[in-house]
Structure 1
Amino acid sequence: MSKRANETQDLVSENKRSRSSTVKEGHVPDCTDELCKGCDVVEVEISFVRKDADGKPIDTEPSAQELLSMAIDEASNDKNNDSDEENNGIARRLFDMAIEKYQKDEPENRVGYATCLIELGKAIRVEESISEGLEVLRGELKTKKDDKDILLKTAGAAIALAASIRKKHKAYMEEVEAELGDPDDEIDDDALEELEKKYELSKEEIKLYKEAIECFNEAFADVQHIDETFLKEAQTVMHEMRGYGQLFEVESHKDHSDAVLNAVIAVIQKLPDYENNDELLLLWASSLLHQEKFLPYEQKPAYLKKADELLIKSNKLYLAKNGKENPWVWELYAMLRINQSMFAQDEEAVELYDDAILSFKKASALSPDNTRLAHMVIHLQNMQKEMEEYEEDLEENVGIHEE
């Protein structure tokens, strides 16, 4: 390994917050409220340290790509993307520095600049930044229409923007439904028609997800010349497309969901040696589990069976590669068992439900920091307890009304 390569690997960022007050940390100088928990405005300062082959620190200035990589890593560790505090402030500052670096030192690197804008928009949830980056990539495609890297990045940007629009629309519809009150109450025909119109996708969102599918498919026109780096980035885009497809929960949206998820599944099946890639198999299984929700009753078992097979194989591959099992596999396996219990009778249904609880427990044990999984275990156990109590009451009351 060259000395330069070693230096690059050792590049890390260090940050500290400079405060306007040195008298009382976390407060402005004239703060006299003893109950105040902090009112000072903080400013993130970032310094960079790089060591040479002998471990000695040297003066350095990271490249735009290095800044972008650090920003993405920082954003991925952010626990509160809605706030400009904590990691989010650091990530945003790194993104800003990367953008400045691209503009100043690499003005010709439009793809890098666009990627920075898109990742910034995703990190701080600003559609305008994603949209600006997408426009830059579209411009690049006019002269590089067969560049699979740009095509893939364009697909990722388009689906990220579509997902942002979808999430906002879902939040809006939740407010509309809350205003309607009890879902069991009757709604007159005019109100129902108006409600159905509100569920419809905007032309902009449809155009975006179709653009994502088109670019995604074109990026994989030649699957025989795909390197590991491209496949890794492709899997990220696949996850984003899968996530977008799973945002659809209304039956009238089935075709939109299927269009995106089927595109992911089709490309997975085209890839050489996909059967030995645990992540690709898991993506496929997750997509099938969502598609099953919208299927006619008689078609559901086949989808669930295929998902079952994919999850088992994915988990074996993951275990062989990492020496431990995949918590996401067990989470999906739990969901699969719940769905399968819907088609089972009596004791078999109970066994499948019990298996679902055990699977969620397994997932939670493999990912102890995931509080959502822990809450799911408690929720299912409470539901199971309520069902058992209900059945006991039924047994105790048998024959009471027959006298």
Structure 2
Amino acid sequence: MDLMQELKLRGIVYQQTDEEGIKETLSKEKISLYCGVDPTADSMHIGHLLPFLTLRRFQNHGHTPIVLVGGATGLIGDPSGKKEERQLQTLEMVQHNVSCLRKQLEQIFNQDGDNAAIMVNNYDWAGSMDLVTFLRDYGKYIGVNYMLAKDTIASRLDTGISFTEFTYTILQAMDFLHLYKNHNCKMQIGGSDQWGNITTGLELIRKMQPEGAKAYGLTIPLVTKADGTKFGKTESGAIWLDAEKTSPYEFYQFWINTADADVVKYLKIFTFLSLETIEELAKAVEEEPHLRKAQKALAEEMTRLIHGEAALEQAIKISAALFSGDIKSLTADEIEQGFKDVPSFDISDAEELSLVDLLIAAKISPSKRQAREDIQNGAVSLNGEKQTDVAYILSSSDRVEGKFTIVRRGKKKYYLIRYK
């Protein structure tokens, strides 16, 4: 099965500028192709992943991926998908973000071999360009009417668009031209909202390169959920690739909680599992959904890809401990990950409290009478072990690595006690 056929079967292809041309070119040669991201934050989130994972599929088939982080375009702001102007960032902020995103992207691609990923930053060629050069050498080739016809610009005409964001599509077109000339880059891929920017790049190549220059564009569909809600968002916000913003355990849990209606689609577009393996997992969804084999495979593949094997093993360990109640098997770091979103209460490291007083102080039980009843009835556990002694005084042995005690009231209500 050739690459384009597989991409279609996986549901990854949305638009192609020249389907036959792409098919013929890929059948004859190994090409360089690129995908870019602007450093609007110091981490990408999972909504950024699909185009880059698609780029990795090309690398797996022997093509050379060029991974662009837009240090220059990040200073301007892409109007795509926005109803108002972006807040401009300082050069220092953007450069910091570039460094962070580059490290995340290096995790996804093979850095060795003949087709090792090429990492580039468009600030290197656009950052020092003067205005006259920009207008004469590039702006002269892109008509205003042509730009006004672009959806990303046309959609902003009623609410207003600055000249800064108006010129963004030319800046991105310059990227494609630069990579075409210097890296023989013949294709750009991106999300469906990047179609206008990609085709502007092709227009610049057509006008500024010798007759017969061949380059292509491919876009990927917007990822949606079966229930119509936005992919990649949770009650606590976006799912980030940065482990400090979204822990590997939270990352793992996001994927393992995927609905049955979405999991096969996500396996196809996000993972590198074979279509035959995914078909087997699809059968498991139909025949034994309670086992959640497909969700486990999805969570494992994605967590391993972004955070590595050790972080995956830790996420699985935390999940198993929370399911079984074996809290004492967890380290302090694992507790911090697993109980990040539960109610917490800080007490002094030197303070000695009875269990009853702790339940009242941390607002776990509403009254002393209720606290005593909860303890006597076996409804209270410390680090996974029931405590039925109403006179119990907490000691250092109840602290995991001296930092935390996990109190559970009832079956599902957890509380994190922190020692300061």
Regarding TM over 0.5, the answer is no
TM-score by length of 2: 0.25
Q: In proportion to residue count, which structure has more strand?
A: 2
Instruction: Name which structure has the greater RCO, CA cutoff 8 Å, separation 6+.
Output: 2
TM-score by length of 1: 0.26
Q: In proportion to residue count, which structure has more helix?
A: 1
